[in-house]
Amino acid sequence: MDFASLPHRFGERDAIGALRAAEEGLANEQAGTRQWRVAGRVLARRGQGGVSFIDLEDMSGRVQLLADLERLGEDVFEQVRSVSIGDLIGVAGVARRTRRGELSVEVAEWIELAPCRLPFPDRHHGLQDVEVRHRQRYLDLMTDPAARERFVARSRMVAGIRRSLDDAGFLEVETPVLQPLYGGAAARPFVTHHNALDRDLYLRVATELYLKRLVVGGLERVYELGKDFRNEGVSFKHNPEFTMLEFYEAYADCEDVMARTEQLVAAAAISVLGTTKITVKGTAVDLAPPWPRVTLGEAIRQQTGIDPLALGRDSAPLLARMQADGMDTSHDKTWAQLVDHMLSHYVEPTLIAPTFLTDYPVELSPLARRKPGADGLVERFEAFCGGMEISNGFSELNDPDDQRARFEEQAAAGRAGDEEAHPVDEDYLTALEYGLPPTGGVGLGIDRLAMLLTGQDTIREVVLFPAMRT
């Protein structure tokens, strides 16, 4: 087919869904009066001598086309008859319900818009090969309505989150993806190089430190919704680039942002599903606030009988228990890493219904404010649902001296081999010297929330183009 001869547009197009809604009342063999112009992809063709039936689909729905030799003449009818599955075409004509009761468009005008030159995937079994579905997501979207619905739902969820935050007076901002220094999360960064400046830059692992600079600057409620990049393994809940929401609220603390988090998630669920009730791994759960709050130490105690935060900083009983359970503790070099490992091994998988864990050890939380009267703890929470961490927030540490000390500890850990430790960020410390108001901040994993709201067990099904080996 000669592409140069194909139309560049198909104007005054009607959505198939609108046609269906408007003409639903037609009786069998009755024709409507209005001329419709619909366009889309050909999904099926059924010939019957001088009559041909085509199934045409656009983003709003599917409708049958009815083409008649006597009405169209031989030339046009031959075009219809020879259309390939997958071709993109436009038609004009009135609606008519066929003898067998199928609402159809009676083709009066037939316009080829773009050919499908490769064989279309089997339309009865769909595309089964997971690898092809992910590498060529357009084929998945073409052939699987459920895949389309999943990504529409994700988009609605994100729009709902933006609406909630905008309505609460938050300002959406954009901070650097390319950073001279990374920070804001315990993660290994991707490194790239700026040729003109001849220096290495990091892809951000979090937006936290830049957003808090903005709060210092007087932008009292800010959020950023965008990609973070962490140079770590791929799993059902990890993609090396993933979407994160972070929001910061001046004059608020951990409790305030915890409440906002559960409300935000519930509102997102309603904007997608119309309800806060979801099913996760076969279990019915309700995302409606308030979510139960349990301290980290108590949560670990409930699963193991040991409250590691009630034992000072003694690693021995933790190690004994974990090794007795056959766990590989060779990567856990510190007490804090043992606690983190216990959390992810014993507790996280059990938290199916939404739950806040609170009272984290300061060693695991270098950017969080200390909890008054609780030595070694910070005002921090993590939210879990579906056996995954979905959110992390705290009262923001605004004491520049303490922050410097925490950075120094991180740097020491880094020198000792902890590849996920924070580097010291002098520029951020300078910002804190000017005064960060008491502030609460939260990170919320958008992909994982999308998994929960669309009932998917793997992040790859809610990311349009998940990371693949090339």
CA–CA separation, 128 vs 219, rounded Å?
A: 49
User: Cβ(96)–Cβ(34) under 8 Å?
Assistant: no
For residue 229, the minimal CB distance to RNA (Å) is: 17
Give the count of beta carbons closer than 10 Å to the beta carbon of residue 247. Answer: 28
Per DSSP bridges, beta strands 171-172 and 221-229 are parallel
Residue 346 binds RNA, judged by CB under 7 A: no
With CB under 7 A as the contact rule, the residue among 51, 173, 311, 424 that binds RNA is: 51
How many other C-beta atoms are found inside a 10 Å radius of the C-beta of residue 174? 10
Contact 204, 195 (CB under 8 A): no
Q: How far apart are CA 336 and CA 366, in angstroms?
A: 12
Residue 124 identity (one-letter amino acid): H
Minimal distance, residue 329 CB to RNA, in Å: 8
Query: In the complex, what is the shortest distance from the CB of residue 1 to RNA, in angstroms, rounded to a whole number?
Result: 11
128, two tokens: 């089964």
Q: What angle do CA 324, 330, 333 make, to 5 degrees?
A: 110
Q: Which residues in 130-189 contact RNA (CB under 7 A)?
A: 130-132, 134
> Which of 38, 39, 41, 53 lies at the binding interface for RNA (CB under 7 A)?
53
Residues in the chain: 470
Confirm or reject binding of residue 20 to RNA (CB under 7 A). no
Contact string 73-92 vs RNA (x = CB under 7 A):
--------xx-xx-------
Provide the sign of the torsion angle of the four alpha carbons 317, 318, 321, 324, taken in this order: negative
Given the DSSP bridges, would you call strands 103-114 and 61-68 parallel, antiparallel or unpaired? parallel
Site for RNA, residues 222 to 261, rule: CB under 7 A: 233, 235-236
HSE at residue 286, side-chain half, CA atoms within 13 A, is: 5
Near RNA by CB under 7 A, which window of 51-59, 161-169, 171-179, 310-318? 51-59
The C-alpha atoms of residue 273 and residue 157 are separated, in whole angstroms, by: 9
Stretch touching RNA by CB under 7 A, among 16-24, 39-47, 214-222, 445-453? 39-47
DSSP letter (8 states) at residue 370: B
**Residues 34, 46, 194, 313: which binds RNA (CB under 7 A)?**
46
Which CB sits closer to RNA, 103 or 216?
103
Q: x/- string (CB under 7 A) for RNA, residues 117-136?
A: -xxxxxxxxxxxxxxx-x--
Per-residue interface string for the shown chain with RNA, residues 89-108, x marking contact by CB under 7 A? -------x-xxxxx-x----
Binding piece for RNA, criterion CB under 7 A, among 115-123, 298-306, 372-380, 441-449: 115-123
What residue ranges bind RNA (CB under 7 A)? 29, 44-51, 53, 55, 64, 66, 68-70, 81-82, 84-85, 96, 98-102, 104, 118-132, 134, 233, 235-236, 327-328, 331, 345, 457-458, 460, 468-470
